[in-house]
Structure 1
Amino acid sequence: CHTLTADCHMPMQFQCPLHPQGCPGDKYGLLCDKNCICKNGARCHGFNGACKCQHGWQGGGQVFNATVVLNVNCPPNRKGELCDEVCDCLHSASCDRWAGCVCPPGWTGTRCQTQCPEGTYGKGCAKTCGCQNGASCSPSDGRCNCTAGWYGSNCDGACPKSRYGWRCRQVCSCKNNATCHHVDGSCACVPPWGGRNCD
């Protein structure tokens, strides 16, 4: 008999015990006839007897293995052996039956509530940003958002001569061989020239 479905492959007179919610906490197996050996508040898997340790405990015997468990998905936003726990995930995170919230790149935390710290990005915030010159880094993919006067994938290049500002989109108005500042477009005049545009 299968304790979750009551499918029976025994003689007709045999009664199949039905446990639609799974085995009681101290039992496991198809007939819920085996004793669990989990300790320190660990939960016993009703199908294979593996122990799921409480936070702060580990080791000893088997551990939960999703490939051994019945291949049944929980309803949306539910997790746990019996799908009786709520996944309260944020930022479009997915809910895994055993792991809980699976954060998208750029987010971390048990509910994916925390954006990657400054200078890190990606899945689990495990990658380091390479942005320079005060550029910010996208927490999801690591792309650099350059500050005014800088360009390039890492924002390591000053705007080319005659250009300045954000994404080097401004055209310098300096005259008479004056040098244009790549950040704000101010002109450094060559004597005897003066004035805002050295004209």
Structure 2
Amino acid sequence: MGVARRSCTRPIQLDLPLLACLVTVLGVCAARSEAPRGVAVPFVFDPSATCDPRCQHAGICIRNNTCFCSRGYEGETCQYATCYPKCKNGGECLRPGKCRCPPGFGGKYCHKVKCDTGCWNGGDCIAVNGVAKCICPSSWTGSKCQEAICPQGCRNGGSCVAPGICSCLDGWLGGACHMAVCHRPCLNGGKCVSPNTCRCRPLYFGPRCEERKMY
């Protein structure tokens, strides 16, 4: 059996005895495994046959203008490579088992949707109307799922850095950056309303509401 396989792939010679041997072995190999696409086996071989245009990719001219294609090729002159499974999503078979994929698809047979920049933070790349797109988890958004979502919002110049978490500017605190910070506390019931700024109750005034009005 090992000799038969080597004979199937041996370069074709022009002498008649070797061609006859090659055709016999080809018939046995095709019958035992996957038959090349083309003429059915067994077939009549004409050693004086000519094919114009010539058979490509190691195909054999067995009758006038009739090619017997090697495994992985098909067509009248064996000009087309075949991929199994077939290339998907508009992919092109370049050579046996090798697909060239269109933008947005990847994998050996173009069966995987591919987002060029990738999908971050657990996003899934899927095809939407033939276009690769990231579908993000509920707490992320953006073309790559790179932007966190803070349902409460981030106020006073704060930015959302993770789901539900704001990064606040100096002078602000809180889940939504809504709490001002006064480094020196407001007195007499005063309230810190912006960084280091107190709003005083009636009868009081001053930077920290430390002074009482006199009537």
Q: Which bin holds the TM-score, normalised by the shorter protein?
A: 0.3 to 0.5
Larger RCO (CA under 8 A, 6+ residues apart): 1
Larger strand share, 1 or 2: 2
TM-score with structure 1 length normalisation?
A: 0.40
